[in-house]
Amino acid sequence: MENEVLREDALAGRTALITGGGSGLGQAMAGRFATLGARVFLVGRTADRLERTCAQIGETRAGWHAADVRDVDAVERAVAAAESRFGPVHVLVNNAAGNFLAATDDLSANAFDAVVRTVLYGTFHMTQAVGRRMITRGVGGSILNIVAAYAWTGSAFVVPSAAAKAGVLALTRSLAVEWATYGIRVNAIAPGPFPTEGARSRLMPPDVERASLERVPAGRFGRPAELANLAAFLVSDASPYITGDCITIDGGRWLTSGGEFNALARMPRAEARALFARLRPKK
């Protein structure tokens, strides 16, 4: 891999639990952690994706458990499965998310609830389950939450996600202070546009993708390997004095454009609604 900044054994002896690890950025982080010596345990709702990712990494270094992070009992079972397979969890990455474009006045209560429960409640459930075990063992650990720049700017048409990510950012900073006494570091990453398969299907049809790229000062989208390297650095011993921080990785985009989807507010609303309808998963 280009631009190596960590030793090849930087995560040796660690077990990392990654939610949403079967695809996209979660998959990239899982693969990178494994190359640095970690054992990775993936949690998500889609078993076949988790199984495929583990097969790519290698079954001696990767395991999985299908669970919905909105369900606190399912989360407890997933963490127990991780520790049964690989021993104590040293690193937690809360990457599971849900998002879609919608006019807020069209949102149903169920749609709002589904996103907020996945992003905010799911992060809390998993953080509490793993954090309690870290505290009991008394050897510390590292927790990394994946948020978005619109956690602090807000953004039109993704109100449930923006509200939930803002909550996760507050959770990150709160626990960084509260749990420092236990040797637990809590940080966050705010990725900009990384056009993974899931993001393209739900949030970035070609016309939106082109407009988004024009607002990135660096002139390109992010590469999953770049985020994976940043995540590995933040959970490793190379960053022992970093806690309670949120690192933005977006090519400078949030500095120039504010809310990620605010530009869509300039579209005629009927045209925007038609666009959102095209992006909804087919039932």
Closest CA to 191 of 119, 253, 121, 265: 253
Tokens at residue 93, please? 């990455």
Cβ atoms of 123 and 145 closer than 8 Å = yes
Distance CA 221, CA 198 (A): 15
Cβ atoms of 118 and 98 closer than 8 Å = yes
CA angle 66, 71, 74 (to 5 degrees): 45
Distance CA 79, CA 229 (A): 24
| Amino acid (one-letter) located at 209 | E
Catalytic residues: 150
Distance CA 197, CA 176 (A): 32
- What secondary structure letter does DSSP report for 45? S
